[in-house]
Structure 1
């Protein structure tokens, strides 16, 4: 992989794999709902800049996870994958039991989704490499229609507002 760092948070590093033209998401540490929400806002910002059809999502370095993350991902974040232009996600399980169970729960709650699970990054990368339908021209950046871009921007703004409201409620309770 030839990785270029795009964004980084406490629990997530977002890279563009220049060789394979996919996003590589490297989650690490003990992740909580507020940390995941902030990380997902950074990830959404990457998609506002340009579409990425394929994602390698690694949870290998996740040591612990809050159960509230699964429900939030399924209801507030992952349903917008197609709008963002995502066609395939290779999700690498965490070696921690709680992390593994959270990912398995997300996949169970999203039947027929674009996500396929793996035990290692190597397996996921091999599978994801075979999902490419054609070799992209290195000088062409994938585009989306202006209407789709506007809808995505609207959804990201709404996501930002929902997260801000939830965080405000957490601090006032």
Structure 2
């Protein structure tokens, strides 16, 4: 798999996955509203550079309750991702219960992308490889 690092911080790593033609977003550590907003700024900066329409959003290493960011993500970030060309997101659940709960809270606010959640990375990758066959704009859980 040919992946190139686009950005790395204690809370987020962005990868340009050339083989699968998607942006791989890896969340790490304790997540809070301001950290998430700052990290998402980097995501939005790198989206146009890839030309990809799909994102693999991996939260397996994320911890903490970040429901304060749920509405902002669903109503602000996701429409902006859609506006720059993203159509499909495979979201891998966190192992941490609080972070997992926060993901579900975010999905209740999301309307602009096709988002499907997964318990493991392999299943998310398999789905995302076939995501072009799906109608964009539907949130699945």
Contact 2:82 2:113 in 1 (8 A): no
TM-score, length basis structure 1: 0.71
CA drift at 1:72: 1.6
Q: Which structure is larger by alpha-carbon Rg, 1 or 2?
A: 1
CA distances 1:47-102 after superposition (whole Å, capped 9, x unpaired): 23343201000000012232211122123211222211011100011111111111
Gaps of 5+ in 1: 134-173
**What is the aligned partner in structure 1 of residue 71 from structure 2?**
71
Residue 41 of structure 2 aligns with which residue?
41
Change (3 A) 1:8 1:16: same
* Structure 1: distance between partners of 2:66 and 2:88: 25
CA distance in 2, matches of 1:114, 1:131: 9
| Aligned: 1:121 with 2:121 | yes
- 8 Å CA contact 1:25–1:58 kept in 2: the answer is yes
Work out the CA distance in 1 between the residues paired with 2:90 and 2:125: 8
Aligned residues: 133
In structure 2, list runs of 5 or more residues that go unmatched. Answer: 134-141
Shift of 1:110: 2.1
The structure carrying a bigger helix percent of its residues is 1
Write out the 4+ residue segments of structure 1 that deviate beyond 3 Å after TM superposition.
Answer: none
Cα distance between partner residues in 1 of 2:111 and 2:131: 19
Instruction: Using the TM superposition, give the Cα deviation of residue 16 of structure 1 relative to its aligned residue in structure 2, in angstroms.
Output: 0.7
Q: 2: distance between equivalents of 1:121 and 1:28?
A: 15
Greater per-residue strand proportion: 2
CA contact (8 A) 1:10 1:35 kept: no
Using the size of structure 2 for normalisation, the TM-score is 0.86
Residue 136 of structure 2 is matched in structure 1 by none
Instruction: Work out whether residues 92 and 117 of structure 1, in 8 Å CA contact, stay in contact via their aligned partners in 2.
Output: yes
